[in-house]
Amino acid sequence: MKAVSHLAESRAQSGGFDVMRLREDFPILKQKVHGKPLVYLDNGATSQKPQSVIDALNHYYTAENSNIHRGVHHLSERATAAYEAAREKIRRYINARSDREIIYVRGTTEGINLVTQSYGRSFLKSGDEIIVSAMEHHSNIVPWQILCEQVGAKLRVIPINHDGEIVMEEYHRLLTDRTKFVSMTHVSNALGTIVPVKEMVASAHALGVPVLLDGAQAVPHLRVDVQDLDCDFYAFSGHKMFGPTGVGVLYGRAELLEKMPPYQGGGDMISLVTFEKTHYNVLPYKFEAGTPHIAGGIGLGAAIDYLLALDWNALAAHEHRLLSYATDLLTDIDGVRIIGTAKEKAGVLSFVLDHVHAHDVGTILDQEGVAVRAGHHCAMPVMQRFGVPATTRASFAFYNTTEEIDVLAQAIHRVRKVFG
Ligand code: C6P
């Protein structure tokens, strides 16, 4: 890659979004893989971390490491203040009303399990119906299936069309007085579809049905406002939004969280324990048993600081350009079929290549320095819907460039050559 011409090109093509400047913030992107410059297109699995997030983790362990909410000593007070300040940043970032509504969890998966086991086990019963869609990640299917086994509820599935969009008439047909919960992805990890969740929340609320949104793939690409969406729960993972692994967030509407029993018992989630009776802590701590991922929370706060400093209009335009550039380029390659052609998409390009298994595609791309995901993407029902065992998925972040997409396309041509 020629750095200067690359810089000029990236600027010219990205409406002033200075991609090359931003890439400097991500040290991992400078490395070579198999002797080739790393082209990291597996951001849907996990995104890379800017230096400021790495520094925040380092600073915590170097200067502040201590347990929180417990100590009376200086370090504990500093760690507690940093962790709670990060909670407030998260609240502001998604525009929740109160930081009582921001529950730290391990990630999207734990956030959804918290809702199924706390809300679901308390308020759903035999014969009730839960609606999900055919494009859910396993994290938004299996916890509901476990709940259905526990309480005798039924899972109803909204079909998707051939472009990978929700069939809205079917959603409206499935919404009945038996529906007691709707749980939907905001952006599909396997297809990239942006789901019209605001409209879907409104339809569910018209029947008094609460809605959880799985925001794992939305928060890295869209500015999310939970009050505007009017959802009841919103779950997401820090590691997909340039923060650390092992930390995520469940937003919940305070009036629902108040009614819900704790998900796990242990330290910090209580106000008084006796053998006769235990009183639980106030929100959000009622749902945060045990020592949390303190460094992770602080690191997530640093990721939010980083994201807030970006020009989101320019970022969105740049990501849109990446996606349409990649779509055009791959569509022109003989034997490539794109899976997921919704009108509204974010950051994901899944495809199959005639007569070549996705794992072989992924392995050859890796030899060219290109990191993609190959497989079912923890969304087996999506693969079944499209009649494929697996896809190869390139997933983008704002630090990717059109030049990297050229490398991806050339590498796919190489796969075709290898497989004749
Ligand atoms: N998808 C992917 O490569 P966790 O693992 O809890 O951070 O996120 C789970 C999850 C839930 N919902 C959606 C829409 C997701 O995309 C993911 C994670 C990764 O697509 C890893 S399987």
Of 308, 336, 352, the last residue of a domain is: 308
- Ligand 1 centroid, distance to 216 Cα (angstroms): 6
For residue 414, the one-letter residue type is R
- pLDDT for residue 14: 56
For the cut 60, the answer to whether the pLDDT of residue 48 exceeds it is: yes
User: Among 7-16, 48-57, 203-212, 261-270, which stretch is predicted with the lowest mean pLDDT?
Assistant: 7-16
Average pLDDT score over residue span 91-109: 98
The finding on whether 113 has its CB within 6 A of some atom of ligand 1 is no
| Residues 125 and 177 occupy one common structural domain | yes
| Residues 297 and 323 occupy one common structural domain | no
Into how many domains does the chain fold? 2
Q: Which residue, judged by its Cα, is nearest atom 3 of ligand 1?
A: 45
* pLDDT tens, residue by residue, 125-161: 999 999 999 999 999 999 999 999 999 999 999 999 9
The finding on whether 44 has its CB within 6 A of some atom of ligand 1 is yes
Q: In what order do the strands lie in the sheet with 211-214?
A: 102-105, 248-252, 233-237, 211-214, 179-185, 129-133, 154-158
Q: Given the residues 378, 379, 405, 409, select the one marked as catalytic.
A: 378
Q: Are 325 and 405 in contact (CB under 8 A)?
A: yes
- pLDDT for residue 420: 80
DSSP string, 27-84: GGGG-EETTEE-EE-BTTT-----HHHHHHHHHIIIII---SSS--SHHHHHHHHHHH
The finding on whether 109 has its CB within 6 A of some atom of ligand 1 is yes
| Residues 26 and 148 occupy one common structural domain | no
| Residues 410 and 322 occupy one common structural domain | yes
Of 273, 308, 343, the last residue of a domain is: 308
CA distance 6 to 134: 40
For the cut 50, the answer to whether the pLDDT of residue 1 exceeds it is: no
| Residues 95 and 193 occupy one common structural domain | yes
| Residues 373 and 293 occupy one common structural domain | no
- Ligand 1 centroid, distance to 184 Cα (angstroms): 13
**What does the CA dihedral 53, 56, 58, 60 come to, rounded to 10 degrees?**
-150
CA distance 298 to 293: 9
Reference 210, options 234, 189, 194; nearest CA is 234
- Contact residues for 143 (Cβ-Cβ < 8 A; gap 6+): 109, 112, 113, 115, 116, 117
* pLDDT tens, residue by residue, 250-271: 999 999 999 999 999 999 999 9
The finding on whether 189 has its CB within 6 A of some atom of ligand 1 is yes
- Ligand 1 centroid, distance to 198 Cα (angstroms): 21
- Ligand 1 centroid, distance to 382 Cα (angstroms): 14
- Ligand 1 centroid, distance to 214 Cα (angstroms): 9
DSSP SS3 for 67: coil
- pLDDT for residue 3: 39
CATH number where 154 lies? 3.40.640.10
- Taking phi over 0 as left and psi of -120 to 50 as alpha, with beta for the rest, 147 belongs to alpha
**Ligand 1, closest atom to CA 107?**
6
| Residues 250 and 348 occupy one common structural domain | no
Q: Are 223 and 241 in contact (CB under 8 A)?
A: no
| Residues 330 and 221 occupy one common structural domain | no
- Arithmetic mean of pLDDT over the chain: 96
Average pLDDT score over residue span 374-403: 98
In a domain? residue 32:
yes
User: Among 71-80, 87-96, 170-179, 399-408, which stretch is predicted with the lowest mean pLDDT?
Assistant: 71-80
- pLDDT for residue 2: 39
Q: Are 308 and 388 in contact (CB under 8 A)?
A: no
Q: Which of 41, 46, 139 to mutate to test the pocket of ligand 1 (most atoms within 8 A of CB)?
A: 139
Structure-token pair, residue 146: 């476990």
The alpha carbon of 313 is separated from its chain's Cα centroid by a whole number of angstroms, namely 20
Q: Which of 191, 197, 217 to mutate to test the pocket of ligand 1 (most atoms within 8 A of CB)?
A: 217
CATH number where 378 lies? 3.90.1150.10
Of 308, 331, 357, the last residue of a domain is: 308
DSSP SS3 for 161: coil
| Residues 208 and 349 occupy one common structural domain | no
Structure-token pair, residue 320: 């849109």
CA distance 122 to 261: 8
> Which residue, chain included where needed, has tokens 């839960």?
130
| Residues 235 and 127 occupy one common structural domain | yes
CA distance 372 to 377: 11
| Residues 366 and 240 occupy one common structural domain | no
* pLDDT tens, residue by residue, 183-239: 999 999 999 999 999 999 999 999 999 999 999 999 999 999 999 999 999 999 999
The stretches of 222-379 forming alpha helices (DSSP H) are 226-229, 254-259, 294-308, 312-331, 358-367
Catalytic: 148?
A: no
In a domain? residue 169:
yes
Domain of residue 335: give its range. Answer: 6-49+311-418
Structure-token pair, residue 108: 């999207």
For the cut 80, the answer to whether the pLDDT of residue 311 exceeds it is: yes
| Residues 271 and 381 occupy one common structural domain | no
**Ligand 1, closest atom to CA 373?**
3
**What does the CA dihedral 124, 129, 133, 138 come to, rounded to 10 degrees?**
50
The alpha carbon of 171 is separated from its chain's Cα centroid by a whole number of angstroms, namely 23
- pLDDT for residue 266: 96
In a domain? residue 1:
no
For residue 109, the one-letter residue type is T
For the cut 50, the answer to whether the pLDDT of residue 86 exceeds it is: yes
In a domain? residue 213:
yes
The finding on whether 107 has its CB within 6 A of some atom of ligand 1 is yes
